[in-house]
C-alpha cells in the first residue's frame, strides 16, 4: 500500500489518515478493513498543521481538517496520551514531549516516575486516552461533517517499568480489572491482548458505525 498516494489516484472509497507514518496507516487500515472492507485507508502527503490545541479533541480535529481540505477525502486523525489524576490530568496532550521537544519515550517515562516517586499507590490512578476525529468534506457548498470519539482505559502507574513490549508509557501502566497479585504492565501483554482492550480499541468501537456509507 502506497501511503503517499494523492487524491486523484485514489479509489472513491478511500479515507485518508492524517499521518506520514506508514506503520500507523497500515494499523488503521487493518482495523477498519476488518469491519469495513469497502474502505481503504491511505496516508496523508500534505503539509503538517501546527497542533496548537490544548485538548486531544482539538489536536485531532486540526489534523483531520487539514487532511480533508488537502485531499478532498474523508479524513481521520488521532491524538492520544496518558492522564495522571494526581497531576491534574497531565501529561495529557503533552505526553509525547513531557521531557522536552526531542520526543524521547524513555526520558518521558523516567521523568514521570521521578515526579511520582513519593506518591502512594492509592493516588497513582491514570488513564490512557485515545481521541479520533473524522472529518467528511461537504459537497455543493455544504459544511463539512465532523465527529470526535474517545476511548478511555483506566488503570494506575507502577513504581518501576516492566516488560519489553509496547511503547511510550506502556511499561508503567497497569490496567484496572486484573486479578490482584497477578497484575502486569501493558508492556508485558501479548500485542493481541493489548489491541483488544486498549484506549484506541475503545475509540474504534465508537467510530466504526460512523464509517458506514462513506
Which residues are identified as catalytic?
A: 79
Residue 126's SS3 state is strand
Cα 162 to chain centroid, rounded: 22
- CA pair distance 1, 205, nearest whole angstrom: 24
Beta bridge partners of residue 91, listed in sequence order: 83
From the list 184, 192, 195, the residue with the least C-alpha distance to 162 is: 184
Neighbouring residues of 213: CB distance < 8 A, sequence distance ≥ 6: none
Beta bridge partners of residue 153, listed in sequence order: 128
* Matching residue, cell 470519539: 149
Phi, psi of 114 (to 5 degrees): -65, -40
Sign of CA dihedral 79, 195, 21, 13: negative
Amino acid at each position: 500500500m502506497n501511503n503517499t498516494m494523492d487524491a486523484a489516484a485514489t479509489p472513491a472509497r478511500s479515507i485518508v489518515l492524517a499521518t506520514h507514518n506508514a506503520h500507523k496507516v497500515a494499523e488503521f487500515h487493518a482495523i477498519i478493513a476488518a469491519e469495513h472492507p469497502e474502505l481503504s485507508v491511505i496516508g496523508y502527503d500534505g503539509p503538517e498543521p501546527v497542533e496548537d490545541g490544548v485538548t486531544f479533541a482539538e489536536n485531532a480535529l486540526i489534523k483531520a481538517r487539514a487532511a480533508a481540505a488537502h485531499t478532498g477525502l474523508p479524513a481521520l486523525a488521532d491524538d492520544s496520551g496518558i492522564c495522571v489524576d494526581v497531576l491534574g490530568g497531565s501529561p495529557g496532550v503533552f505526553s509525547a514531549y513531557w521531557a522536552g521537544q526531542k520526543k524521547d519515550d524513555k526520558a518521558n517515562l523516567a521523568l514521570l516516575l521521578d515526579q511520582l516517586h513519593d506518591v502512594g499507590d492509592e493516588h497513582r490512578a491514570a488513564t490512557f486516552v485515545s481521541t479520533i476525529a473524522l472529518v467528511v468534506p461537504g459537497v455543493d457548498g455544504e459544511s463539512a461533517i465532523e465527529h470526535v470519539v474517545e476511548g478511555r482505559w483506566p488503570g494506575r502507574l507502577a513504581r518501576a517499568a516492566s516488560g519489553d513490549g509496547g511503547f511510550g508509557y506502556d511499561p508503567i501502566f497497569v490496567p484496572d480489572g486484573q486479578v490482584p497479585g497477578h497484575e502486569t504492565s501493558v508492556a508485558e501483554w501479548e500485542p493481541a491482548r493489548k489491541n483488544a482492550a486498549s484506549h484506541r480499541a475503545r475509540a474504534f468501537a465508537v467510530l466504526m458505525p460512523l464509517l458506514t456509507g462513506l
